[in-house]
Amino acid sequence: MALVKSSHGYNLINFCFCFFLRHCCRGVLKPVRVFPDAARTNGALVMCEVMMRDGKTPRASNKRATILDDAGAWFGFEQEYFFYKDSRPFGFPDSGYPAPQGPYYTGVGYKNVGSVARQIVEEHLDLCLAAGINHEGINAEVAKGQWEFQIFGKGSKKAADEMWMARYLLQRLLRNTASTSSTTASRSATLTGTARACTPTSRPPTCARPAARHTSRR
């Protein structure tokens, strides 16, 4: 598939997906952002909107097209997530729970955060920075096996695009470790919940830190 940019933007790409040989979905992929892909030589990651066959009408699933794009707005996102291996969060025993929460938050050292998770989040950070994503930082979170990263961007769609691409890069990276991550809220009364928080502002940042921490726990 060739991606050619003309004076009017990137060319549209026709697609057809068939499910179970019964239902086919035809439409057009409209490239909207291109990110460098450090995991491949001269690679690129292309974010697309899904359009109807006329190339102009967004499909119902295309929520990006509904965003009011305020180029002057700043958004600070923080994404919390759990690492899982064999259906258990990293660091959990085969049954029951690990030691009580407390030392894991912004923790260091093998006892608190292990070694595999730290390696993954550091590599994810490098991939995001190489892709031009405004990745602001990482930290271990309150629960065992829980981590967080922050994205700070200017422009409604631009900031959201970078968050989605950062999440994709994390999922792709985890293929190498036979692990998964989950951003869904925890339903366990013994675990701190996971959330994605967003702080919009019309003013530029005045310090190096992203949006103030205000994540609600569930």
Distance of CA 98 to the CA centre of its chain: 27
In this structure, CATH architecture of domain 74-201:
2-Layer Sandwich (3.30)
How many residues are recorded in the chain? 218
The pLDDT assigned to 181 comes to 81
The pLDDT assigned to 114 comes to 86
Residue 45 near residue 37, CB atoms below 8 Å: yes
The pLDDT assigned to 207 comes to 33
CA distance 84 to 91: 9
pTM of the full structure? 0.78
Domain with CATH 3.30.590.10 in the chain: 74-201
The pLDDT assigned to 196 comes to 55
CA distance 160 to 152: 10
The pLDDT assigned to 178 comes to 67
Token representation of residue 189:
């009364």
The pLDDT assigned to 86 comes to 87
Sequential pLDDT tens for the chain (218 residues): 445 454 345 566 666 555 555 566 678 888 999 999 999 999 999 999 999 888 889 988 899 999 988 989 999 999 999 999 888 888 898 888 888 888 999 899 988 888 889 999 999 999 999 999 999 999 999 999 999 999 999 999 999 999 999 999 999 999 877 677 877 654 444 555 555 556 555 554 433 333 333 333 33
